Amino acid sequence: MTVAPYYIHRMIQAIHRDPEACAAFASDPAPYYARYGLDQRQIALLEDASVASMTELGVHPNLQMKYLRMRTPRPAAGESALPGPLDAYLDRLLEKRNG
């Protein structure tokens, strides 16, 4: 099993932790690829983002999920819930807390 060089994982982790960096990355990832020293092949695999490409590059599955979210512009996280997989159940799930 291939494991990506740590600088690729480090890039994803660092951007994921920083809402401003997430927004900047979503709008133009090229400066980040340059800053972390990715080569053209690595960039192409990341940009493709398929499971096959990510597996070839060796990106950790959980960091793939972060990377995929980083590519999409979204509001800052804050304390309010962002849209997510539990949306359809929230009213019933939180009923007693809110009531």
Please, is 34 exposed, middle or buried when counting C-beta atoms within 10 Å of its C-beta (0-12, 13-18, 19+)? exposed
Binding residue (CB under 8 A) for another protein from 2, 20, 61, 91: 61
Contacts of 35-41 with CB under 8 Å at 24 or more apart are 35/11, 36/7, 36/8, 36/10, 36/11, 37/7, 38/7, 38/8, 38/11
Per CB under 8 A, the segment of 20-28, 35-43, 58-66 that binds another protein is 58-66
CB of 82 to another protein, least distance (A): 6
Per CB under 8 A, the segment of 19-27, 29-37, 40-48, 90-98 that binds another protein is 90-98
Binding site for another protein (CB under 8 A): 3, 6, 9-10, 13, 16, 51-52, 54-55, 60-66, 77-90, 92-97
